[in-house]
Amino acid sequence: MTTGQDDLGIHDPRLADRNDLARRLAEAARLSGAVLLAMRAARDVKIKADGSPVCSADLAADHIAKRELARLLPGIPVVSEESAEAVAPAPVFILLDPLDGTREFLAGGDNYCVAIAVICGDRPLAGAIAAPASGRLWFAGDDAFSQVLLPDGSAVGEAVRITVRPVPAEGPATLVSRFHGDRLSDGVAAAMGSTTTVSVSSAVKFGLIASGEADLHVRGGQTMEWDIAAGDIILAAAGGTILTLDGTVPRYGRTECGFRNPPFIAASSEALARRAVAAAGAV
């Protein structure tokens, strides 16, 4: 843990081994993801007060994730996208998005996922992202790992360590949102000399950068803390970073902001992120 996290006076032995903590989150994420895959036909959509869609698959995955988290990490409160108003953050709490990429899910795409992170203070200790339709699982504590998933949610083989890649000589490969494009993202990608842009939904973007399959993602539109917290720690453990446009790392548990994030840059290195932050200032 960082010094600031130690200063909270938390002595929960489950938090001491961050890689083991990440594996617990990965188990909850993959089991919840299997429910999403089994409910691919769900189309009973409702529109929430914030304008985002929700369907029965969201709620079923939310139920399974909370059940598993209660089993694996009992007593740690869970702030979920589907019930954020009912649970207050604590010195240690969990951020859960049971279906990140609902529009992708409803459109029949594969880049949706379950994202879970443990927050200590205002920064993530460990996180996991399960993308069941893509057959991929990412998780991280001190180190970042990737593993293959079967459709039933079971993991195949051993988890392998992952790291970011050096930026290609021809320029960074930039991931853009399939359903949430914005002028800032397009402008920064152009300013950074990105010759490759790929449309990807959800927190899967962070896993791809952490695995060395892409380099940059810029988000100027609204996101929520549960959208990025797991990706934040996975990317950081792999050697990358997320920076907000003032050059600082995101903070979590900010109820005064309604759990909304400011615009941010996700990149394979701090140097690349800071170049992108500078470019964003000129867009």
> What is the secondary structure of 212-271 as a DSSP string?
TS--EEEE-S--BHHHHHHHHHHHHHHT-EEEETTS-------GGGTTBPPPEEEESSHH
Average pLDDT on 84-98 reads 95
Question: Is the domain of 26 the same as that of 136?
Answer: yes
| Residue that is last in its domain, among 109, 140, 161 | 161
Over residues 2-22, the pLDDT tens digits come to 445 554 445 789 999 999 999
Predicted model pTM: 0.93
| Residue that is last in its domain, among 118, 139, 161 | 161
Tokens of 143: 């180190």
Tokens of 124: 């993530």
Nearest Cα residue to 167 out of 36, 61, 268, 45: 268
The pLDDT of residue 236 is: 98
Question: Is the domain of 150 the same as that of 219?
Answer: no
Residue 253 has pLDDT above 90, yes or no: yes
Q: Which domain holds residue 57?
A: 3-161
Residue 250 has pLDDT above 90, yes or no: yes
Residue 274 has pLDDT above 90, yes or no: yes
Average pLDDT on 120-132 reads 97
The pLDDT of residue 2 is: 46
How many domains, the chain?
Answer: 2
**DSSP β-bridge partners for residue 211:** none
- Per-residue pLDDT band at 1 (split at 50, 70, 90): very low
Question: Is the domain of 207 the same as that of 234?
Answer: yes
Over residues 174-218, the pLDDT tens digits come to 998 776 667 888 888 888 888 888 888 899 999 999 999 999 999
Question: Is the domain of 98 the same as that of 42?
Answer: yes
CATH number at residue 258: 3.40.190.80
| Residue that is last in its domain, among 119, 137, 161 | 161
Min mean pLDDT across 5-19, 77-91, 108-122, 157-171 is at: 5-19
Q: How far is CA 246 from CA 99, 217, 240, 280, in A?
A: 29, 16, 17, 10
Q: Is residue 191 part of a domain?
A: yes
Question: Is the domain of 202 the same as that of 70?
Answer: no
